[in-house]
Amino acid sequence: MGRPRRGAAGAEGTTDTGTGTDTDTDTGTGTGTGGRTSTRTVRGTLPPGAPDFVHLPVEVPSGVNEIHVAYTYERPAVPEVWNGPYTPDDEVSLAEWDNLLVAAARSGGRWTPAMGSSDAHRDPDAIGTPQTVVLADDLSREAVLAGLRAGRSYVAESARVSLSFAATGGRGAHAGIGERLRVSRDAPVTVRLDVTGVPGGTAHFVTDQGTPHTVALPDTGTGTAEWHTTASYATYVRAEVRHTPTAPPLPGALAAFTNPVFLGE
């Protein structure tokens, strides 16, 4: 979901359709000199492929000195937690999404995959910064959307960064991003992350217990990190790759992150 933009007097808003259907509500309330208040509500949906903006004209009666505009939308099936060049706002969004993962894992509820987008609209916005890399059966719209909704994806700051992330157990058990490794609670699990394109960065394994393991990546930008765990310790594991911190102890800027691999029956 792109960040909303507002036109003159709040009469114009922008809703990016992304991969789903959004609901946009615009309510204008004006109070004239006589103290009369009126409210106008417009509801509708923007189907996939529609223009990424909606113009809602509002007639402003004489004497109105204040207009309030608000909008709502349904929670998308795959929320965008990284939008454009990485900023503290994206760090907050990533943390909020991780809280949703923890709550779903501990309650046994449905989990929510995440995605990222450059949200490029004009120069000098760069397309593909970041980008979502999806494992899909083919390149059709339907297959790509299915991969997104299943969480078989990771987000990288550019095409220069690539990841491979999976968990393995005994007897050839294997699960990739967005999948479940079906092993007993105490069976040994090996989680492996292969990274290219992040020189001198760090690889972080993130679970519902926090971030139990971090590995420094070589200056070449290509490296491998492994972590050993069990399903009794970690309900899920996901990976983050970060650049060298510029203001310790704050974390370095995100270079990439994966959706989780779930562990256990």
pLDDT in tens, 118-129: 988 888 888 999
Structure tokens at 119: 């949200």
Instruction: Give the per-residue SS3 of 155-186.
Output: EECCCCCEEEEEEECHHHCEEECCCEECCCCC
Contact (Cβ atoms closer than 8 angstroms) between residue 252 and residue 243: yes
- The amino acid occupying position 20 is G
pLDDT of residue 42: 67
Structure tokens at 152: 């078989």
Could you write out the DSSP letters of every residue in 210-245?
A: EEEEEEEPPTTS-EEEEEEE-TTT-SEEEEEEEPPP
| pTM score of the predicted model | 0.73
**Which stretch of DSSP H or E encloses residue 99?**
helix 88-107
pLDDT of residue 177: 98
Contact (Cβ atoms closer than 8 angstroms) between residue 168 and residue 153: no
Q: Which residues partner with 207 through β-bridges?
A: 210, 237
12 or 233, which is more confident? Answer: 233
111 or 36, which is more confident? Answer: 111
Short-list 56, 59, 60, 62, CA closest to 26: 56
> How many CB atoms sit inside 10 A of residue 93's CB?
18
pLDDT in tens, 191-201: 999 999 999 99
Residues above pLDDT 90, as percent of the chain? 59
**Which stretch of DSSP H or E encloses residue 91?**
helix 88-107
Q: Which residues partner with 6 through β-bridges?
A: 13
Handedness of CA 174, 178, 182, 186 (dihedral sign): positive
Band of pLDDT at residue 50, cut at 50, 70 and 90 = low
- Mean pLDDT of the region 13-22: 35
Structure tokens at 18: 């992304």
Short-list 203, 215, 222, 251, CA closest to 160: 222
pLDDT in tens, 90-118: 999 999 999 999 999 889 889 999 999 99
**pLDDT surpassing 50 at residue 244:** yes
pLDDT of residue 93: 95
Q: Using the 8-state DSSP alphabet, how is residue 121 labeled?
A: -
Q: Using the 8-state DSSP alphabet, how is residue 104 labeled?
A: H
Contact (Cβ atoms closer than 8 angstroms) between residue 148 and residue 113: yes
**What residues contact residue 97 under an 8 Å CB cut-off, 6+ apart?**
79, 81, 112, 114
